[in-house]
Amino acid sequence: MSGTSPARPRVFNFDLGSFKVAALLDAADIRDNLASAFAVGQPPAAVLELAVSNFIDQDRYEHCFIPTLIDTGSQKILFDTGCGDEDSSLLDCLQELGLGPEDIDVVVITHGHPDHIGGLVRDGEPAFNRARFVFGAAEFAFWTEGKAVRPARLANRDLFRRICTDLADRATFIEPGDEVVPGITAIDAAGHSPGLLAFLVESSGRQLLIWSDAFLHYVVSVQRPDWHADFDDDKEKAVETRKRLLAMAADRRLLVAGHHMPFPGLGYIGRINGTFRWIPVSYQLNT
């Protein structure tokens, strides 16, 4: 057994009121440069102290990609489509649930970055051929108009136009406060991208906050929300969003689904020693 990678599941499902929810592990990368990714401009000593106190490597980190599937009983709604490359496992995850792409009724795109839109098209055709697509209106306009895209995102702009423009006639465009379906409401989460949307899901009195990429690391982004992440397009706006969503999640004791949190990407936010902490799900969702 020596030298093998640890085995782990790639589907985690649970009930949220009358809804059924599944976290789907599309991919996981091991990356270097924790500080340059999530702590731009911070003193190395501060990053080291944070890493050591949380028992994580000061440099290397795991970056998961976790779309969320919600079955309301009448519609199956997929939040984001993963990377869509040869290592992508999203369709395999759906297959484990007994589902194929044709079973998805609605595909919600939280924002236009490649690891969220990459699985929209397969072999030049829409991968989810029955689905209605939902985009944030501001996000769709940002990428298709392309007037303020920073140089590091120009390839992203071209990918978005190539993949998403032809889906417009099958799409609904929403703004914060709009419902995707009853029980699922969009929330402004702009900063990481100009029109990033989070979603509050509620069924039979139980709630789930899908915060997508508002937080990119379960330690750095949560415990130091004012630190800048290289991946964020509007870094100060991203800071404001993180602080607002952290307070919301903590004060309302919300279950949270984070696209880049450690799989299954589910946890709670606690207030500890003047900041916040990610508290991963253990057995709270078992029935």
CATH number for the domain that contains residue 242: 3.60.15.10
The answer to whether the CB of 198 falls within 8 A of the CB of 238 is no
Average pLDDT, the chain: 96
Question: In the 8-state DSSP scheme, what is residue 203?
Answer: E
Domain tally, the chain: 1
pLDDT (tens digit per residue) in 74-102: 999 999 999 999 999 999 999 999 999 99
Q: Is residue 128 part of a domain?
A: yes
pLDDT (tens digit per residue) in 178-203: 999 999 999 999 999 999 999 999 99
> How many Å apart are CA 219 and CA 118, to the nearest integer?
27
Q: Is residue 202 part of a domain?
A: yes
- C-alpha closest to that of 87 among 5, 9, 27, 31: 27
Place 1 in a pLDDT band, splitting at 50, 70 and 90: very low
Arithmetic mean of pLDDT, 89-118: 98
Residue 163's domain comprises: 11-280
The answer to whether the CB of 65 falls within 8 A of the CB of 260 is yes
- Residue 147 confidence (pLDDT) above 90: no
- Name residues whose C-beta falls within 8 Å of residue 166's C-beta, 6 or more positions apart in sequence: none
Question: Residue 269: what are its φ and ψ, rounded to 5°?
Answer: -115, 125
Q: Is residue 137 part of a domain?
A: yes
Q: Is residue 225 part of a domain?
A: yes
Question: Residue 17: what are its φ and ψ, rounded to 5°?
Answer: 60, -125
pLDDT at 4: 52
Q: Is residue 276 part of a domain?
A: yes
Q: Is residue 40 part of a domain?
A: yes
Arithmetic mean of pLDDT, 128-150: 95
Place 6 in a pLDDT band, splitting at 50, 70 and 90: low
Q: Is residue 1 part of a domain?
A: no
Place 250 in a pLDDT band, splitting at 50, 70 and 90: very high
Arithmetic mean of pLDDT, 63-78: 98
Q: Is residue 5 part of a domain?
A: no
Place 205 in a pLDDT band, splitting at 50, 70 and 90: very high
Three-state secondary structure call for residue 117: helix
